[in-house]
Amino acid sequence: MSDRAALDRLARLYGVHTAYWDIGGQRQVADPAVLLEVLRALGAAVERPEDASAAIRARQQALWARGLEPVLLAWDGLARPPKLRRPLASAEAPLTCHLRLEAGETRTWTVGPDALVARGGHEIDGVRYVAQVLALPDALPLGYHHLTLEARGWRAEAHLLAAPRRAYGRDEKSWGLFCPVHALQTDRSPGSGDLTDLEALVRWVGAQGGRLVGTLPLLASFLDTPFEPSPYVPASRLFWNELYVDPARAPELAACPEARAILESPEYQAERAALRAEPLVDYRRQAAAQRRVLAALARCFWAGSAPAADAFQRFLATQPLLDEYARFRATGERQRAPWSEWPAAVRDGALPPGAYDDDARRYHLYVQWLVARQLDALAAASRDASVSLYLDLPLGVHADSYDTWRERALFVRAVTGGAPPDAFFSWGQNWGFPPPHPEVMREQGYRYFVASVRHLLSRARVLRVDHILGLHRLFWIPRGREAREGVYVRYPAEELYAVLCLESHRHRALVVGEDLGLVPPPVRAAMAAHGISGMYVGPFELSDDPQRGTAPVAPTAVAGLNTHDLPPFMAWWQGLDLVDRQDLGLLDEEAVQRERADRRRREAALVATLQRQGHLGSLPVPPGITLEEPEDSARREAARSVLHAWLAQLAASPARIVLVNVEDLWLETAQQNVPGTWRERPNWRRKVRYPFAAWERLPGLRAALQTVDRLRRTVSPATGEQGDAA
């Protein structure tokens, strides 16, 4: 076997793809040097291609020696018979089985050697292994169980996931509104929106007939040192962002003169007014102002008898990691540096009291409780309004997050996650976060993934899994390499789907997978098999055929005209996103002209389709993207007519959910986030153009939502077809 063939075989044993098909249909073969770096990151003892043969033997030995796969699946309580790998010396001995159920019960039974079905064998370094198949009990209760097998000195263990095959689903056709919390503006906002503003939005959407409010992740962020405001690179996927709490609603405020004095001071009021007047959210400055009030509230809380209160103690009992998280954040504040730069004694230790200021630790304990209580109030308001919260599960976490500090064996810091080159990013994308090690995930029984999902589902009833392809494979880029030099690493998708299905049923929550872009057919097939909703984004579903301008909408889809990573409708209609991509160097002039011509054809087909379906009358001006006179009133009215008609088409479709971006309703052209940029664009900072109180007065806004609501109510849940309103 040649060195390259051996290297490729080793890569397959570790789940590393040696090639992939790119956006243009070309097969991209991995560079051997990149394969070596990724294999080393996964734990293979391989420095050069000629080391691959020995590494193959070591890998095979390790796989046979572990006896059982780390995770076994039982769909709908029916376990697949697992394959055992036992040394020949123990293969003829009776097998004692211990199944510890999640609820605490342990079932024990013995299996004689004659009841095991042989499935071949293997010899490595003089040790003969026998493969056998074991039948497990039927009708296992759903949950996270643990199986232990023992026989004549041999022992093997596995996590047993018993999950519904399909995620929780509701047979209804609803609609909702999307708006980032940070972008909300009210006359009381502190610079960005907060949970009080989100609660007001929930009640308002419910009054319009909507049943869903979507927003960006509300997870903990680094807003000092390090500084990273992106909601998709959180400081933890297990805790909340205290920036969004409303100090004025803190129960401790009435008994805290210090906090009241700060809130009422001219200096604080002037700072709030200045932050509110800024067109962009100034996270660092706002967090500093917020910290003054919250720190005062925390001091009052801990100085009184409140810390011994039953409610706080019950909260702590539900958050076993909170004290460690608080110590981690307090240590970071003392060090003024990310954890990877802390002194070794602190970085690698258990964070003893001398490593941090205890006031800072108590602050983080308090603010997490305060966030939890305000989220409880939001949940109550959501129930009153019959509105569900729709939150995202980010694909990654900050490289210097609490999560990567705590779970060092899980995250692979020698590489970063990203994406290969595509039509939008010709050099690929490097997202900067360390990906999880697929084998360590399994060995840990997915404890971190479970905790991340549960954290969000404690509040949300619709969970959107960012970049669901990541359940199947992730693009790993060795540090120091260009994004285009990465390779795909396979993940145990079925086991990850099992966690999502089980948790969705336990929380009665829908699961949505972000399946946009280059997603292989097997991914969507797996989503369909497990009841995971996909996404339908209008501009991606257009053709240039006037007889069929839009693709049909799947009954399980979440349908809309964009996402937080895409241009709003008006920017797309005018082609402003093409100009922006040219300014960023992602498209040249020839490509812009080609894209513009293609979009004109698709836009014309869209208009013809909407007119034929009866959603759109004649336009006052011809359709077609243009950069001339973008504020021309006739063109704006034409665009508004197309927008309302397109939303009406989606509302009349069989889509499970129609999600309306509120900024589309006033024809916003600025984008919330331009992927692949950081300093170049003010991502995650832009406020919506109009304050919340003015929305009802905007031309056509309520009329558009009333149309969506009326059409959603006349779609039959069973068939997804229009019928008589009930």
pLDDT tens by residue, 205-225? 999 999 999 999 999 999 999
pLDDT at 586: 82
Q: In this predicted model, what pLDDT tens digit does every residue of 555-600 receive, in sequence order?
A: 999 999 999 999 999 999 999 999 998 998 888 899 899 999 999 9
Mean pLDDT of all residues in 334-346: 94
Give the span between the Cα atoms of 442 and 76, in whole angstroms: 20
pLDDT band at 305 (very low <50, low <70, confident <90, very high): low
- 718 vs 332, 656, 714, CA distance in Å? 53, 11, 12
Q: In this predicted model, what pLDDT tens digit does every residue of 76-98 receive, in sequence order?
A: 999 999 999 988 888 888 999 99
Whether the Cβ atoms of residue 245 and residue 367 lie closer than 8 Å to each other: yes
Whether the Cβ atoms of residue 200 and residue 375 lie closer than 8 Å to each other: no
pLDDT at 628 over 70: no
Place of tokens 């992740």: 217
Crossing angle for the helix pair 521-529 and 493-507, to the nearest 10 degrees: 40
Go through the chain and tell me how many residues it has.
Answer: 726
Q: Give the list of residues 6+ apart from residue 156 with CB closer than 8 angstroms, or none.
A: 66, 67, 68, 84, 148, 149
pLDDT band at 1 (very low <50, low <70, confident <90, very high): confident
H helices within 433-518, ranges in order?
Answer: 438-443, 447-457, 493-507
pLDDT at 621: 61
Instruction: Dig out the tokens for 137 from the structure.
Output: 């009990």
Q: In this predicted model, what pLDDT tens digit does every residue of 384-419 receive, in sequence order?
A: 999 999 999 999 999 999 999 999 999 999 999 999
Q: Which among 616, 625, 600, 623 is positioned nearest to 649, based on CA atoms? A: 616
Whether the Cβ atoms of residue 281 and residue 288 lie closer than 8 Å to each other: no
> Which phi and psi (to 5°) does residue 366 adopt?
-65, -45
> Which phi and psi (to 5°) does residue 678 adopt?
-140, -75
Give Cα 675 distance to the centre of its chain. Answer: 15
Task: Tally Cβ neighbours within 10 Å of residue 598.
Answer: 12
- 357 vs 263, 266, 345, 360, 403, CA distance in Å? 25, 30, 17, 5, 21
Task: Delimit the domains of the chain by residue range.
Answer: 3-63, 74-163
Q: In this predicted model, what pLDDT tens digit does every residue of 589-606 receive, in sequence order?
A: 998 999 999 999 999 999
* Secondary element (H or E) of residue 350: none
Largest Cα span, the chain: 85
Helix (H, G, I), strand (E, B) or coil at 336: coil
Mean pLDDT of all residues in 114-129: 83
Mean pLDDT of all residues in 525-548: 96
Instruction: Dig out the tokens for 680 from the structure.
Output: 């170049």
pLDDT at 155 over 50: yes
Burial profile 152-176: b = 16 or more Cβ within 10 angstroms, e = fewer: eebebebbbbbbbebbbebeebbbb
Mean pLDDT of all residues in 34-54: 96
Q: In this predicted model, what pLDDT tens digit does every residue of 685-719 receive, in sequence order?
A: 999 999 999 998 998 999 999 999 999 999 866 55
Phi/psi class of residue 443: alpha, beta or left (left: φ > 0; alpha: ψ in -120 to 50)?
Answer: alpha
- 174 bridge partner residues: 657
Helix (H, G, I), strand (E, B) or coil at 220: coil
Q: In this predicted model, what pLDDT tens digit does every residue of 500-519 receive, in sequence order?
A: 999 999 999 999 999 998 89
Mean pLDDT of all residues in 448-466: 97
pLDDT at 721 over 60: no
pLDDT at 58 over 60: yes
pLDDT at 53: 95
pLDDT at 720: 59
* Secondary element (H or E) of residue 570: helix 569-574
Give the span between the Cα atoms of 603 and 605, in whole angstroms: 5
Indicate yes or no: pTM above 0.85. yes
pLDDT at 73 over 80: yes
pLDDT at 723: 43
The third-level CATH classification (topology) of the domain covering 74-163 is Immunoglobulin-like (2.60.40)
Average pLDDT, the chain: 93
pLDDT at 245 over 50: yes
Give the span between the Cα atoms of 718 and 655, in whole angstroms: 12
Helix (H, G, I), strand (E, B) or coil at 355: helix
pLDDT at 517: 84
